[in-house]
Amino acid sequence: MLTRLSLANLKTIEKTAAVPRYDRAALRAGIVHFGVGNFHRAHQAVYLDDLFNLGRDHDFALVGAGVLASDRPLRDKLRDQDYLTTVVEQEADRSKARVTGAMIDYVEPADATSMIAQLADPAIRIVSLTITEGGYFIDPATGEFNPGHPDIQHDAASPGAPKTVFGVILAGLKARWEAGLQPFTVMSCDNIPGNGHVTENAVAGLADLVDPALGNRVRGEVAFPNGMVDRITPATGTREIGMLADTFGIEDSWPVFCEGFRQWVLEDRFPLGRPALEEVGVTFVDDVAPYELMKIRILNGGHAAIAYPAALMDIHFVHEAMENDLIRRFLEKLEREEIIPEVPPVPDTDLTDYFRLIERRFANPKIGDTIARLCLDGSNRQPKFILPSTAARLKGGRPVTGLALVSALWCRYCAGTSDSGREIAPNDASHARLKEAALKARDEPDAFLALSDIFGGVGRNERFAGAFAAALGCVWTHGTKETLERYLNGALQR
C-alpha cells in the first residue's frame, strides 16, 4: 500500500524512511534558494535537514524561487506534498530513504515582484543558487561575464521588472538598501571555478549597466563566498518514482535519488550570520580554490571524458560505461597522464586516492546515473571541465593526446549519430550550430575548433589542432572502440 508524502502521513512513512525530528511549524525562513532542482534537494537541503535535526538554527529554513515559468511544475508538486522531499541514498550494498523538510515555502515562479519582496525581508540572510553552469551569462572562451546578452540588457533597461536571477537579486539588494537593511550573502552552489567570483561579476556587472555607483556598492558591500559542492545526483524519471514506491511504499511526485557520498567546502564569508553547517560535515576554509579545481578537473572532467565515448558506443548508464574495459582504462590513463598532473596540491588530500574514490563512485551500480545526463550542455561544460586542463598542458609544452581525443569524441557526438547509426537527441542549447560544425569537421577538423566562443585560444593552437584532427579522423574512420584501443596502445598521433 502506498503512502502519499505529506506532513500528515509522516507517522506512517517513518516505518520505512527517516523523517524530520524537528517541529516543522517552528522553522523560520532565512535562505532563499534559486534553482530548486535535484542537486539542491540532495545537497544543501540535506545538510540543513541534518542541522535542524540537531535542534540548531531553525531560523535558516529554505524558501524556493525560480525566474522561469518552467519552474512551476516542480513548485506545484512540492507544494502539494508540503514542500517535503524523499531523498534515496544508494550504494552498491544498500539503499536508504529519508524525508527532508528544510524547505517551507516556494515563491510563485517568474513573479519578480514577489521574489523581490521575499529578498527584502530582513529575515533573509543568504541567497543561494544552483542554476547550472550555463546560467551565469559567461562567455565560454574568455570566462568573463557577458553584459551584452539580451536578457541582461533587458534587466539593465527595466531593473524593476527583471527576467534573470541576477536582476532579481540586484533588485532585492536595492530594496534592502532603500529600507536601511544590510545586504544578504549571495552563495553559488554550482560547479564553476570561482563560483563566488563569477556570481559577483554577474550581479555587479549588471549593476554597472544600471549605475556604475551601484556596481561599486555591490562589490564593496555584498559577500560572495566561493564553494565546492559534490554529490552525484541523476535526474528523476518514472524509474525512480516507481523504485521509491516499490521499495519504500512512498508516493512522491518528484523524489531525489543520489549516491551516499557528499561534500561541501565553503569560504566563511557571511556578514549577517549563517547556519552552523560545520556541525553536519561542511568544511569551512579561507580559500576553496584548491578543492574546487580538484573536483572540477578530476570528477567533472572525468564525467565529460567518459560521456561521449559511452554515448557513441550506445551505453546507457554511467556504471555500465565503467564496466567497459576500454572506457575505464581510457579514463584512468587520461586522468593519470594529463588531468591530475595539472591539479595543484590540495590540503590533506592525495590526488591519486581522490581519483580512486571517483572511480568507485562512477561505478556505483545503484545510482542509475545516465550517460545522456553527462552529455548534456557540452558547449558550457567543455570550456569549464576539459579545456582548462588542455590549456594548462599546452602552456607547459606537454602532450594533449588524451584531452584532444576527449574534444574529438565530443565533436563526433555532436554530429548526431552513434557509431551504430542511432540518432542522438539534441541536448544542448547550441545544438544546431554544433551539429553543423561537427559534420563539416569530418572533412575539415578546424571547422569545429573555429567555434571560438567555446575553444578560444586552445582551438588556434597548432599542437592541439593536430592532435584533435588525428583523433577525430580516427574516430570517423575506425569508430570509437578502435580509437580508444589505439590511444591506450600509444598509437594515436601526439
Q: For residue 493, tell me if it sits in a domain.
A: no
Same-domain pairing of 169 and 304: no
Q: Quickly list H helices, 107-194.
A: 112-120, 150-157, 165-178
136 Cβ partners below 8 Å, 6+ apart? Answer: 145, 190, 192, 198, 199, 202
Query: Assign residue 216 a region: left if phi > 0, alpha if psi is -120 to 50, beta otherwise?
Result: alpha
Which of 261, 285, 309 delimits the end of a domain? Answer: 285
- What CATH number corresponds to the domain at position 300? 1.10.1040.10
The better pLDDT of the pair 142, 186 is held by 186
Quickly tell me which residue has 561534500 as its cell: 263
How many domains is the chain partitioned into structurally? Answer: 2
Same-domain pairing of 161 and 218: yes
| Residue 37 confidence class, pLDDT cut points 50, 70, 90 | very high
Same-domain pairing of 34 and 111: yes
Same-domain pairing of 246 and 264: yes
CA nearest to 409, candidates 359, 336, 352, 334:
334
Residue 142 has pLDDT above 80, yes or no: no
Same-domain pairing of 40 and 135: yes
Same-domain pairing of 271 and 318: no
Half-sphere exposure of 89 (CA within 13 A, CB side): 13
Q: Give the structural domain span for 361.
A: 289-488
Q: What is the pLDDT of residues 277-305, one digit of tens each?
A: 999 999 999 999 999 999 999 999 999 99
Same-domain pairing of 199 and 334: no
Residue 218 has pLDDT above 70, yes or no: yes
Q: For residue 271, tell me if it sits in a domain.
A: yes
- pLDDT at residue number 92: 83
Same-domain pairing of 304 and 264: no
489 Cβ partners below 8 Å, 6+ apart? Answer: none
Whole-angstrom distance, CA of residue 399 vs CA of residue 420: 31
b/e sequence 299-323, b meaning 16+ C-beta within 10 Å: bbbbbbbbbbbbbbbebebbbbbbe
Q: Do residues 191 and 198 lie in contact, with contact meaning Cβ atoms separated by under 8 Å?
A: no
Same-domain pairing of 210 and 110: yes
Same-domain pairing of 230 and 305: no
Which of 268, 285, 302 delimits the end of a domain? Answer: 285
Q: Is the pTM of this model over 0.85?
A: yes
304 Cβ partners below 8 Å, 6+ apart? Answer: 374, 378, 381, 382, 385, 386, 406, 410
Q: For residue 494, tell me if it sits in a domain.
A: no
Residue 181 has pLDDT above 60, yes or no: yes
Same-domain pairing of 202 and 274: yes
Which of 285, 315, 344 delimits the end of a domain? Answer: 285
The order of strands in the sheet holding 256-259 is 94-100, 85-91, 256-259
Decide the pairing of beta strands 103-106 and 61-65. Answer: parallel
Same-domain pairing of 293 and 226: no
- pLDDT at residue number 493: 63
Q: For residue 103, tell me if it sits in a domain.
A: yes
Question: Could you tell me which residues are beta bridge partners of residue 4?
Answer: 251
247 Cβ partners below 8 Å, 6+ apart? Answer: 95, 97
